[in-house]
Each structure stands twice: as C-alpha cells, then as structure tokens.
Amino acid sequence: MDILFLDFAKAIDLVDHVILLRKLKDYGIAGNLYRWFSDYLHNRTQRVVVEGAASSWSPVTSGVPQGSILGSMLFLLFINDLPDVIPESTSKGLYADDTKLYREISTPEDCSQLQEALSCADVSSKDNNINFNPSKCKILTFSRRKTPFLFEYYLGSSELKRVNDEVDLGITVTSNLSWTTHINKIKVKANRLLGLLRRTCPLLTDR
C-alpha cells in the first residue's frame, strides 16, 4: 500500500473569499445568514507593529480568521468538496488541513491510478486558489514484498519525497508498521519532562 501525505501551503491564509462564499451558497446558506458571513469576511484590515512602530493598515482579501471558532469551520467547508474529484478507486482521508490518498499496490497500474488521483487533487486545489506544498508532501509504502513497487509520484513537476516514517495525527507511522519509533519519541519527551521535574522539585517548599 502506498500512502501520500499531502500538505497545503499556507492554506488557511489563502482561502479565497469569493470562492468560499460561493460554496456556502452551494451548501444552502442564504438570506441573512449568508450576508452575515459575507460581512464577517469582508472589510478586515491588518498591520504589523514592532517595538511601537506600526505599518499602515492593509486590507485582508483572503484567509479565514485564525484562532476563531468560525475560522476552522469555514476552512473545512472550503476544502470539503476535495474528495469529490478523487476517483473512487483511491481511498482518501481528510482531517483539518491534513490530506491523505492511499491505495493497495499490486501492479504498476495501481501506482498510475494513485498518481492520477494525486493529479486530480492538485488540479482541484489550484482551481480553489490554494496549492499543495510539494516539499512537505511525503510517500510512505507498506509492503510485504522483498522488492516492492517504488513508484515516483509527482505534484506537477515536483517529485514527492519517499520516507520510512511519518507523523499522522500525532502518531509516528513507519513503513514496517513498528511502534518502536513512536515509543522512542515518547520516551525522549517523557525524559525531558522528568528532568524538568527533578530540577524543579528542590526549589519547592513543603507548602
């Protein structure tokens, strides 16, 4: 099985307001609620302040407000139709801005079909004025074969990097399906925390 881990490039900052509002209409949002969302997105400004020196205000023409409850929801609605363009023969998974395409690989033709699905996702993202970041997109292969098919997948002209492990929703997944790498990472974090506690405990009082 080949899994393609895809990463959007600054996707939350690049959400096109016109396209987003059109999609909200397609989802049945209309009337006062639609106008409220339009007002929520439009007429926003931002500036940079460094040590008391401030730049002039600039209009915010794309993106959803980060840190807000609606920001995450609007972004999910914006990319919600991405699976619709992926051929049914390829499985897909979306969680926030993490996207995966995966397929069981038995023949070179399976690799070609997974590449086709990747190309469909790439075209769809460009149609929505957002792009995948090829340098952060990875290939992970699970196989019992001694010599598995190692197909080269491309986003446009950029070849994706093949890795032996990748972090997926906080879990380190390896090509041999071993938990060793994930457990070792947890041990390192736990030892750091224990070291902090050892250094801090002598400073605490009985109270």
Whether residue 202 sits in one domain with residue 120: no
Instruction: Tell me the pLDDT band of 12, cut-offs 50, 70 and 90.
Output: confident
Whether residue 170 sits in one domain with residue 126: yes
Inter-residue contact 148 to 155 (CB < 8 Å):
no
* pTM for this prediction: 0.81
Question: 5-9, 10-14, 34-38, 107-111: lowest mean pLDDT where?
Answer: 10-14
d(CA 21, CA 16): 9
Summarize the confidence of residues 147-157 as an average pLDDT.
89
Whether residue 33 sits in one domain with residue 18: yes
Whether residue 37 sits in one domain with residue 24: yes
- Provide the terminal-to-terminal Cα distance of the chain, rounded to the nearest Å: 57
pLDDT in tens, 17-30: 999 999 999 999 99
Whether residue 55 sits in one domain with residue 104: yes
d(CA 5, CA 139): 6
Residue 64: pLDDT above 90? no
Phi-psi domain of 154 (left: phi exceeds 0; alpha: psi -120 through 50; beta: other) = beta
Whether residue 77 sits in one domain with residue 36: yes
pLDDT of 186 reads 94
Instruction: Tell me the pLDDT band of 207, cut-offs 50, 70 and 90.
Output: low
pLDDT in tens, 79-133: 999 999 999 999 999 887 789 999 999 889 999 999 999 999 999 999 999 999 9
Containing structural domain, residue 65? 2-176
Whether residue 126 sits in one domain with residue 190: no
Could you give the percent of the chain with pLDDT greater than 70? 99
Phi first, then psi: what are they for 185, rounded to 5°? -65, -40
